[in-house]
Amino acid sequence: MLTRRSLIIGAASAGIFGANFAVGRNASASDSSNTPQGGLISTYKLGPVTLHCYMAPSASAVVTTQIIETPNQLHVIDTQFIQGLAMEARAYIDSLGKPVAGVYLSHWHPDHLLGAYQFADLPFITTADVRADCVKYKETFVKRKSQFGDTSPLVLPAGTLSTGEQDWDGFQVLVSQINDCESEHTLTFHLPEIGLMIVQDLMFNNAHAFPLGSHSNWINKLREIRETEGLKLLGCGHGLPATSGAITDSIAYLEFQKAVFGNQKDAESATSALMAEFPKFEGQSSLRFVENLYK
């Protein structure tokens, strides 16, 4: 019998997975080590639902692909930045042995979208607003792919996803669109029965946040999410999943980042201040965008 583990071992021997690719870790014993060659899988059991988080290495800003496994199907959120990492995530998803009911794009940023070619055979959707963002910034995607030497076709999602209550394999899922935070439009996915919310780039867990969007709106939205009853686990866009207490940490980071940009006169000093205050944070590649604020 071809097992999930044998599939992963086979993929590793074929060069799809990096040396430290991690399989089936429990939330209480998640190993956050990774290498530039591959990402990290951590798993979190929430009753009948399991969250699998594929996290890229720090060189790719620890961007995440979230896989929600219900008894009969899978729902995937975001598709990675680099084709090799997207291939890794897809191989793991296939190893779970369940049909993928949908692949959802949380927002338009390239680090969450460009790996979509590896999922082109699956239903790939988002809201009409996020789809419009993707079309608006198509040249940005083309430029990034060129920089990486990525010759794969660009795949954009259909704009057919509705907000509001959805049914995923018998579980209530509340899809919300949040405006004017880190991105123009960002989706969240809340499964209230099990206390799971996927917030993606509204939260960076132990990772530097991209210096984008409206800090004030972003902080206020996190405060609203913090008041949500019954939250046990949040899937973050960068970094490992976190408990609800990490929302306070995210707010503190954004408040500090906002103050730095108000006080520091150049990109170098602003970046140095952030790295000095949060020396152990991953995703330092995110801070290269600080330069854009000082042009």
Q: How many CA atoms lie within 13 A of 44 on its CB side?
A: 25
| pTM, two decimal places | 0.87
Contacts of 221 (CB under 8 A, 6+ apart): 178, 181, 202
**Tens-binned pLDDT, residue by residue, of the chain (295 aa):** 333 333 333 333 333 333 233 333 333 323 333 333 589 999 999 999 999 999 999 889 999 999 999 999 999 999 999 999 999 999 999 999 999 999 999 999 999 999 999 999 999 999 999 999 999 999 999 999 999 999 999 999 999 999 999 999 999 999 999 999 999 999 999 999 999 999 999 999 999 999 989 999 999 999 999 999 999 999 999 999 999 999 999 999 999 999 999 999 999 999 999 999 999 999 888 898 899 888 8
Give the count of domains, the chain.
1
Residue whose entry in the numeric block shows the structure tokens 């809340």: 190
What is the CATH classification number for the domain harbouring 124? 3.60.15.10
HEC readout, 47-72? CCEEEEEEECCHHHCCEEEEEEECCC
> 62 and 85 in contact (C-beta within 8 Å)?
no
Q: Residue 143's domain spans which residues?
A: 4-294
